[in-house]
Structure 1
């Protein structure tokens, strides 16, 4: 997914049948009756949308987007979702996932012809990769013409913006989605619950020594790893860790074995997949052993200390906050006794 996210963004102005640019909306006569709480105007990726009514035919891309809507109780609005077989589901969500039609056998949105035939009135994803014409996907412009505005989670509007991720963006997304779908009370309730969990975890680890962490996605050299910018780095820092690759100003990148050997991590976070595009992937224990072999003199290797983190938690969405708590409990177990 990280490699997909490095594709160039087709950043085009959006409009839709359910959403129109605010500048156009001002000139559009309002209907005689208007649903309570509407129209609603929000901004996303430099675009401004005004929604006259909640979307009812939603298509979601990579699974963290669907997870976020399910957390808001909006499964009845979703008419299509992509395949998710990469890692574990959040509790209670597998049953809801199974009831939604699958429109793509991969984590990516379907090809253009299929996508445009779905009659969507809203598209939610967390990567610009699914809108790249070079890959055969419907562009943002084409979806605009079909009446389906696109919202990208986490501020992941471009590869450069990925490096600027802040956890606050998740709360902004939840508040925006609550407004768009006419369920602001649900969104505020969820935000309050998540913020309480995040604040509790960060308070518990605030005064404890930082644990030196290597976040790896496997490899014997070069190693696929997470540098000192972006989402995974922020999860580590909020959880009371220190990224041993903090000086590598990248999100997902390749690092030579010599750098890993010299990093001396005290613990590993290992990206966990079940499959990727239907193909079996190396397991988290296998990838941990690869890192231990490279950094064989490290504390992490001596103690065989690692946390398998579902890769979906390393992409923008509702479960990012849950991941901070999980990592904090792993790095500082005594703080949670």
Structure 2
């Protein structure tokens, strides 16, 4: 079972070991299953997520989010005011200040039963189905008992492996467009996002480059090959030197990185002001590699991967500027 690493922020950005081993596997995800959903024909509309059909009789008005940054995608669809709170509240970097209605938040990754009942959502947009793993927290049955729908972003479901593709972003936006009955906004947004990705990819020209996406936790290196991380590399036609690592989140050694000798190293960070420290750590750890020697070690915001949706497009754009402008 492959893992989707989750970051928490306590002062400096850290990753807690418990979350690293407990977060969910990626899988197939939602499909819009009624004609009304794709044509703007109104309600009821049924949208599947992680193999379960959810029917909506009206636009959700009390939406909980699996991470604060998910609100950016709702904002882009013009429905951000429906969000009332989020899990992983420690990852808030201005979302609550920009959305005064976000008043019911939890720092937990897995929402507690009391938190969920008090919030009384009609939709939970998760960044991983295992946010409802139970184990003392709320489970899917608790969510269903409230009459709430569930939509899991990025195909991060429990039963199988997600396809690493930026298409997951477009599919999510189409599905949310159906749920909120704004299919034309979803189409317009996806057209804009596809154009942004094409512009970013065009910066590559005829360069054929290799890359590694890694995170460093207490001096230990992990290769990131999960759907979101790989989707960014694939969108830019960057060859992942650890594509055969065998899991989304795999412990490797510093020597593995140096031996693989990627042209570019992307290292994740979480939290404002943490990028420089993450890049400096990677440069020290991987000294002697081509990427370090050529000054091609760059930070990637882990919070954007947790948020998914439109923030992934921003990561692609920044990665293209970093990778192809040197």
Q: Is the 8 A contact 2:25 2:159 kept in 1?
A: no
List runs of 5+ in structure 1 lacking aligned partners. 12-20, 23-34, 276-281
Aligned residue in 1 for 2:320: 328
2:213 & 2:223 partners in 1: Cα distance? 6
Aligned residue in 1 for 2:181: 182
Question: What SS does the corresponding residue of 1:269 show, helix, strand or coil?
Answer: strand
Q: When the two structures are superposed, what TM-score results if normalisation uses the length of structure 2?
A: 0.81
* Residue 161 of structure 1, CA deviation: 2.2
Aligned residue in 2 for 1:226: 224
List runs of 5+ in structure 2 lacking aligned partners. 7-18, 27-32, 35-39
Matched, 1:194 2:193: yes
* Residue 273 of structure 1, CA deviation: 1.0
Matched, 1:285 2:276: yes
Q: Is the 8 A contact 2:282 2:297 kept in 1?
A: no
- Cα-to-partner distance string for 1:163-216 (whole Å, 9 max, x where unaligned): x232112111111111111211211111111011112222442x5222222222
Matching residue within 251, 269, 272 for 1:272: 269
1:9 & 1:305 partners in 2: Cα distance? 31
- Name which one, 1 or 2, has greater alpha-carbon Rg: 1
Q: After the TM superposition, which residues 1-337 of structure 1 pair with which residues of structure 2 at under 5 Å, given as runs?
A: 2=5, 4=19, 7=22, 37-86=42-91, 95-106=97-108, 108-134=109-135, 136-158=136-158, 160-162=160-162, 164-205=163-204, 207-219=205-217, 222-227=220-225, 229-274=226-271, 283-315=274-306, 316-333=308-325
Question: What SS does the corresponding residue of 2:288 show, helix, strand or coil?
Answer: coil
1:96 & 1:124 partners in 2: Cα distance? 19
Root mean square deviation of aligned Cα: 2.9
After superposing the two structures, state which structure 1 stretch, 142-151 or 302-311, moved more: 302-311
- Matched pairs, number: 299
Q: Is the 8 A contact 1:59 1:124 kept in 2?
A: yes
Q: When the two structures are superposed, what TM-score results if normalisation uses the length of structure 1?
A: 0.79
2:56 & 2:101 partners in 1: Cα distance? 27
After superposing the two structures, state which structure 1 stretch, 303-312 or 178-187, moved more: 303-312
1:213 & 1:133 partners in 2: Cα distance? 37
Displaced runs of 4 or more, over 4 A: 8-11
